[in-house]
Structure 1
Amino acid sequence: MSTTPPAGPLCTRDSLASELRDIGLQPGETLLVHSSLSSLGWVCGGPGAVVMALLDALGDRGTLVVPTHSGDNSDPANWSNPPVPETWWADIRASMPAYDPRTTPTRGVGAIPEAFRNWPGAARSAHPQTSFAAIGPRASTIVDSHALDCQLGERSPLARLEEARARILLLGAGFESCTAFHLAEYRIPAPQVDSSFAVMTPQGRRWSTVRDTSITDDRFDDLGAAFEKERPVVRGTVGAAEARLFSLADAVAYAQVWLAEHRPRASSTQTPSREQRGEKGG
């Protein structure tokens, strides 16, 4: 057994809620959170305490949304972390469990979203790879009607969050985790690619392939650095974590211009996104 004291600071539900209010969270607002539990310090109560602190800060009229992605429900031909032998691909496609919003675990988004998707009252969207979960009075409006051929575009919760004037909180997470930037990708010229996953239909489980916009988080870190230099971003500390708070609509509008100028994409030979490979950070 280790005798090394845990790394601090000590974070509690109350201390986290207080610090979240201090950086500007408002009761009644709609908030999309990307998070890293380990960045906070030693959290008494683990990820559940962070969820409760966020809900405390938003109050009963607020709506909390988190990514609950499950990118491992995807074509094994695209897997790289780790890859699997090509001789396995057909069996994986035939055997992959169908997405179920009630039971499918998250992958690659951290411990807080995994706790959140199981939270009483949480509603979760229907996309097998890029679902979001929400709690609060706007939850159903945000997560309903997530189209299978629209991972993170106009028929996804991101567009509904934009309509709700949501803000984004990066809680110990970097801009490379900012899924809202993907909404901008749907609004600039982009190739279409195949996206495959296992879904449940009225006829039973089915391996399905749809055409969707090609997305990639390449250069999101550069995009984020430029965004916070030119646009309002509140920065602060929650526990030991660096926190950034900003308008989702502002981030999407800025990204739409920046990506068109700095990351031209003329072909469909894009590297699959980390969502598709199951590697996306929280």
Structure 2
Amino acid sequence: MSANHSDRQLAGQLAGLGVEPDGVLIVHASLRTVGAVDGGPGAVVRALRQALGPQGTLVVPSFTTENSDTSPSFRDRVRGLGEEERAAVRASMPPFDRASTPAPLMGALAETVRLSPGALRSGHPQTSFAALGPHAERIVADHSPDCHLGEESPLARLYELGAQVLLLGTGFDRCTAFHLGEYRVPSPPQRLYRCVVSGNGGREWWEYADVDLDDSDFAALGSGFERGASGGAVRKGR
């Protein structure tokens, strides 16, 4: 690009896309795709908040897989290792702490929101969300530790609030909101999950059953949704 974006320019573009003033917005972002922005991720957060206005609420996923030994990332990490080496990896895994555990895989924008003054974060040890704004507490409160993305998660609260979804430099394959649908089909398949958390005695392992999450068809689902959308339900722009 010949010049960097400014937060004011981005705010205008976001408003042009249809980001609603005083609304609720969940964002998935790849800032590398967006391009250079004067002020970096902080400027993008400011632009989002400008577009939303003082009564708007900004939400991002702050997921963590680094503390789970049932996650695909753990399986990749220990593939080919012996039992002792696998045990050593498990022993080194950091326990989840709502206040301090980073979510590096969610990207720079999500981390900037999570670390912003006034941000609140839900308590699920693997699929937490961070939020800024008047509805933040309602959205992140009461996130059940055995419900990743269902009725007792921020996704259900976002649905109740009529939230918009912004895919900023990403596609429908990253649209976390689709996961709520997995909980709303009859008798969804379940599996066991396990992760390490901070407990009274230090590190504790938490095991629970929940829906067997599968995002492999999200890109196709998004394409179908886009083809059938009407009334400006899906908008694209720079």
The 3 A distance-change label for structure 1 pair 151 and 190 is same
Q: What residue number does 1:42 align with? A: 36
Q: What residue number does 2:235 align with? A: 235
The 3 A distance-change label for structure 1 pair 56 and 166 is same
CA contact (8 A) 2:103 2:111 kept: yes
**What do residues 105-164 of structure 1 show as CA deviations (whole Å, max 9, x unaligned)?**
113221110111100100011111111100001001000111111111111100010111
Q: What residue number does 1:155 align with? A: 152
Q: What residue number does 1:169 align with? A: 166
Aligned length: 232
CA distance in 1 between partners of 2:2 and 2:168 (Å): 16
> How big is the shift at 1:194?
0.9
2:51 to 39, 48, 57: 57
Paired residue secondary structure (1:21): helix
1:91 to 85, 88, 98: 88
Higher relative contact order (CA 8 A, sep 6+): 1
1:120 to 117, 138, 155: 117
**What do residues 35-66 of structure 1 show as CA deviations (whole Å, max 9, x unaligned)?**
11011121111111100100111111000000
- The residue identity in structure 1 corresponding to 2:20 is Q
2:195 to 194, 197, 219: 197
CA distance in 2 between partners of 1:77 and 1:132 (Å): 18
- The residue identity in structure 1 corresponding to 2:133 is G
CA contact (8 A) 1:75 1:197 kept: yes
**What do residues 74-103 of structure 1 show as CA deviations (whole Å, max 9, x unaligned)?**
116743544442433323333322111221
Paired residue secondary structure (1:159): helix
CA contact (8 A) 2:195 2:205 kept: yes
* TM-score, normalization by structure 1: 0.78
* TM-score, normalization by structure 2: 0.91
- The residue identity in structure 2 corresponding to 1:178 is C
The 3 A distance-change label for structure 1 pair 8 and 140 is farther
Q: What residue number does 1:13 align with? A: 7
Q: What residue number does 2:102 align with? A: 105
CA distance in 1 between partners of 2:148 and 2:39 (Å): 33
Q: What residue number does 2:207 align with? A: 209
The 3 A distance-change label for structure 1 pair 91 and 59 is same
CA contact (8 A) 2:14 2:48 kept: yes
- The residue identity in structure 1 corresponding to 2:202 is G
CA distance in 2 between partners of 1:131 and 1:120 (Å): 17
Q: What residue number does 1:29 align with? A: 23
CA distance in 1 between partners of 2:127 and 2:102 (Å): 12
Residue identity over aligned pairs, in percent, reads: 47
Paired residue secondary structure (1:42): coil
> How big is the shift at 1:203?
3.9
CA contact (8 A) 1:9 1:41 kept: no
Provide the alpha-carbon RMSD of the alignment: 1.7
The 3 A distance-change label for structure 1 pair 223 and 101 is same
Paired residue secondary structure (2:149): coil
Q: What residue number does 1:75 align with? A: 69
> How big is the shift at 1:204?
3.2
Task: Name segments (4+ residues, structure 1) moved above 3 Å.
Answer: 80-84
**What do residues 174-197 of structure 1 show as CA deviations (whole Å, max 9, x unaligned)?**
101111111111112322211111
- The residue identity in structure 1 corresponding to 2:94 is P
